[in-house]
Every structure is written in C-alpha cells, then in structure tokens.
Amino acid sequence: MIPVKVKEVVLDPVQNPLLLLVDMEDSMVLPIGIGFWEAQAIVLKLQGHVTPRPMTHDLIKLFCERLDVTVEKVLVTDIRESTFYAEIYLNTPEGDLLLDARPSDAVALALTVGCPIFIGKKLVPYTVSIKELVTEEGSEPAGFGEPEDSGPMVH
C-alpha cells in the first residue's frame, strides 16, 4: 500500500472531473475519472465548506459515530476495464469490516473523517510523474483547461 493525499480535482480536456491522488513525496499522481457530483463533494471538503444540511459522506460519518464504528482507512485497490475500485476499512465493536466502494465516495469519506488514503502497488503503472503532469510554466496540469464558469471545481 502506498499512502497518498488528494492533490486536487481538475477538469480533463473535455471537461470531465479528474481526482488527482499524489504520493507523500509529490512524485507520482494517480488520476481517476469521477462524476461531477462526487467531484463537487470532494472539492467542498478540500475547501472546508460546511453545508447547511449533511451531505452523504457527512451522514455516513454520523452513522459511524452513533454506531461506534471507526473508518480506519480507504484503499484504491484495482482498475478493471477502465474502472477503478476501492475499499473502506471499518473497525466496529463486533470486529473489522471491509466495504467495496467507488474511489470518489471512499475519498470523500476519508476527507470527512480524516482517515488515511492509500493506493495499491498494482496501480503504480497507472500513475504519472508530477513532471509529466505539470507544464513547463509549472502551474497548470498538462492539457487541462479551465472553463469560463466551472464553479467550485476551479483549482
């Protein structure tokens, strides 16, 4: 397992959201295509926004707290047929549980509860180096344009 953190959410050249997970040395990035609503939830967490009503990940956190369950970690485990897979590791009074999840949901939950995020070593071939991702100017992800009105996803 490789510990990672959320670098940011950006838009690819055709305006689809990409979640960028970066290793702790900021040397490699795993880009994961995610849905708009999931991207918005992650961006809101990254920016520290508190919504007037609980979002799904806030609700899951409340369930966990009420049931004495701890989210230990999330792990992006695999990619099959261009689809990434993740797992959420829970510690409950009855024992440990493992839940299958979409990476975007697992990451949003990890940001909500403050648990570590990992990627499996088998995903290393799907990573790119930071040098490949950043343009010569060193400021924008290569090939990623910012639309005129992209709302909270602008990085």
| Model pLDDT for residues 92-149, shown as the tens digit of each residue | 999 999 999 999 999 999 999 999 999 999 999 999 987 776 643 444 443 333 333 3
**CA neighbor of 101 nearest in space, from 84, 82, 113:** 84
Name which of 49-53, 76-80, 95-99, 102-106 the model is least confident about: 49-53
DSSP run (H or E) holding 46: helix 36-46
Specify the pLDDT at position 150.
38
Instruction: Return all residues near 136 (Cβ < 8 A) that are at least 6 apart.
Output: none
pLDDT at 15 > cutoff 70:
yes
Specify the pLDDT at position 134.
60
* CATH number for the domain running over 2-153: 3.10.690.10
What is the value of pTM for the model shown?
A: 0.83
| Mean pLDDT over the full length of the chain | 86
DSSP string, 92-115: ETTEEEEEEE-HHHHHHHHHHHT-
